[in-house]
Chains A and B, each alone.
Chain A
Amino acid sequence: MAAPRTLYDKLWDSHVAHSDGAGNCLVYIDLHLTHEVTTPQAFEGLRAAGRKMHRTDKTIAVPDHNVPTTPDRLETIKDPESRLQLEMLESNARDFGVPYIPMSDIRQGIVHIIGPELGMTQPGKTIVCGDSHTATHGAFGALAFGIGTSDVEHVLATQTLQMQKSKNLRVQVDGALPTGVTGKDLILAIIGRLGTAGGTGHVVEYVGQVFRDLSMEARMTVCNMTIEAGARAGLMAPDDKTFAYMMGKPHAPKAAQWEQAVAYWKTLKSDDGAKFDKEIRMNAADIVPHVTWGTSPEDVLPITAKVPNPDDMSDANKRVSAKRSLEYMGLIPGTPLEQVKVDKVFVGSCTNGRIEDLRAVAAILKGKKIASHVGMLVVPGSGLVKHQAEEEGLDKIFVAAGAEWREPGCSMCLGMNPDILQPGERCASTSNRNFEGRQGRGGRTHLLSPGMAAAAAITGHLTDVRKVM
């Protein structure tokens, strides 16, 4: 009998197109998501070498990182460099024959939001993109990971990647999350436990009742931030919830093929007794709403905690790093996190720009006003999310509360397009990275859940969402 295999083992084995017998494999790629920032040099590389794409039907192009989110964006994009990148994506897609979704299309949005939404993201697929948050798609039981531009070019030319297999890491979380605690808090707590390099060299599989209880949207939030723990990818075994989410999506299999696909997808789970190289176990009941205090996603604490004192840290590297983080963040050790005042609130990104996230924000903001000193951006992850939110009247709740309701894109997650923090500004953000300067030079980022972001907007400081529910 064959040895029991993990979900990752199965996904890997089913995509090895060639192996040299020494662990160096060509892994076949089922779906290649492309955007404007990490592809111009790849297409240029193909041209320079006189190469063609291996095939064009497994690639999709959509602008997201550099697009403005203001309503006038279809008339003009003021920044000439951004405009050139966007024009090049369109011309490269046209020249090479890649399906392209323009900014004017209701399906446009953040690449990791639209893949699942359009049914391109499917269990059992290998999915890559020149973007580290490709890990998002692991929520469907797809092996999904970010790649650099050289590898983007490699996939365009060969539909494969040269890879060695990663190790298996199991993150088991038992029990159920308490009220007010979300998938975002769960992944922040996991990163806090693993550390930003804890997953290095591994693919994570999330197991336990808590993940089965999560919606598909929340599962995507968890898998999305797996990269922040240094892991190559995050995975969850597909289940009936996955299949229900996918059914009827434009690119999902239809009719007899749907039945055939579901039968296959049901085999995509770790076998009993499968071996993991590393395992951690946590209890969901212990997790409370979390917020970051430093400049790395591992600098995270429960909202009920105080700003840590670096002098209390035993590890010398951590001590030095925490001192520097606190200086950058303008925080004093011992300050209760709930007393930290914010200037901006950002709701959106591939981590928390889906409909469920917007509903969570609206539930807190309904009938309330945001604090007078706070500016709040609510940015849907895609045109379809925007449309759905407007159908439900969520946009009216945001605007009545004093927030800005924008067009879809990566927005203030990465400080590339016009939505940026000014030096010294402090932001409660539903995005994924609190790195120095990530949201704009000198900007200070606190990562948290959508509900926590809404709570901070109302009070004007970091706030335990459970107090305003």
Chain B
Amino acid sequence: MEKFVHLKAIAAPLLRVNIDTDVIIPSREMKGVSKTGLSVGMFANWRYTDVPARISNPEFVLNRAPYDKAHILLSGDNFGCGSSREHAVWAMKEWGFRAVIAPSFGAIYYGNCVRNGILPVVLPDEAVRAIAAWVEASPAANQVEIDLPSQKVHAAGVAYAFSIGESDKDMLLEGLDPIGVTLKRDPAIQAFEAKDRMQRPWVYI
């Protein structure tokens, strides 16, 4: 997995609440069987005026320079709610996003981000709005800086502190393979199964 340590980049504001994963990638855009080739379907219903013909909607923020080069997305409460589809994260990663800053996230989406090297940053609504206003004043120049080791977002002359779970932080900083980590615990899993089989034999038939 790609590491996330430090990033200074253009941030794109998309300050709506409850942006769900069906909006991030509609189901008909995820009929493939691989993790790639999905970015063209990202925000398809908002990004194109004619979706099948892929006619770009000039009003949509990610179609406007310099936001089309953004690596950070600023959004509203409950970003990534709804469907568990990891395709939403794969599509955003492939498009170029490495971090999303929002007041809250859908739980499954949050986990999917961490497992793909995208940093989900939780900041209060007022902070996200303040950063967005600062970015919009001069989007190419006013780049947002995120430092994971110190858990700070630097923008608008302010250092915003954010929280993240220790294991999620480690995974992002080290670019760990979670399966590889767990497989080292295989003896514990085997021991659990042996004990559990005695207690709940009907679960092992």
Contact = CB atoms under 8 A, between A and B. Distances in A.
Interface stretch (B3-11, B130-138, B142-150, B182-190): B182-190
Contacts of A420: 28
For chain A, the bracket of interface size reads 35 or more
B182 A154 contact: yes
B125 interface: yes
Contacts of B193: 28, 159
A230 interface: yes
Interface residues of B, number: 60
Contacts, number: 186
Given A132-B108, A317-B76, A79 B84 contact: no
Interface string B91-126: 000000000000010111101100110000000010
4 closest cross-chain pairs (CB), A and B: A253-B202, A81-B31, A40-B33, A17-B192
A415 B26 contact: yes
Contacts of B107: 200-201, 230, 232
B189 A160 contact: yes
A57 to B, nearest CB: 8
B82 A435 contact: yes
Given A38-B86, A130-B84, A162 B167 contact: yes
A26 B182 contact: yes
A264 B200 contact: yes
Interface in B16-67: 16-18, 20, 22-23, 26-28, 30-35, 45, 51
Nearest to B29: A416
Interface of A: 17-18, 22, 24, 26, 28, 30, 37-38, 40-41, 44, 49, 51, 54, 57, 65-66, 79, 81-82, 84-85, 88, 122, 124-125, 130-132, 146-151, 153-154, 157-160, 162, 164, 196-197, 200-201, 227-228, 230, 232, 253, 257-258, 260-261, 264, 296, 298, 317-318, 320-321, 324, 414-416, 420, 433, 435-438, 441-442
A65 B22 CA distance: 14
Nearest to B202: A253
Nearest to B188: A18
A125 to B, nearest CB: 7
Contacts of B165: 164
Interface of B: 16-18, 20, 22-23, 26-28, 30-35, 45, 51, 76-78, 81-86, 89, 104, 106-109, 111-112, 115-116, 125, 165-167, 178-179, 181-183, 185-186, 188-189, 191-193, 196, 199-205
A157 B20 CA distance: 29
Contact of A437 (B26, B109, B201): B26
Contacts of A196: 18, 78, 81
B189 A158 contact: yes
Contacts of B34: 40-41, 44
Given A122-B203, A154-B178, A416-B27, A54 B189 contact: yes
Contacts of A82: 31
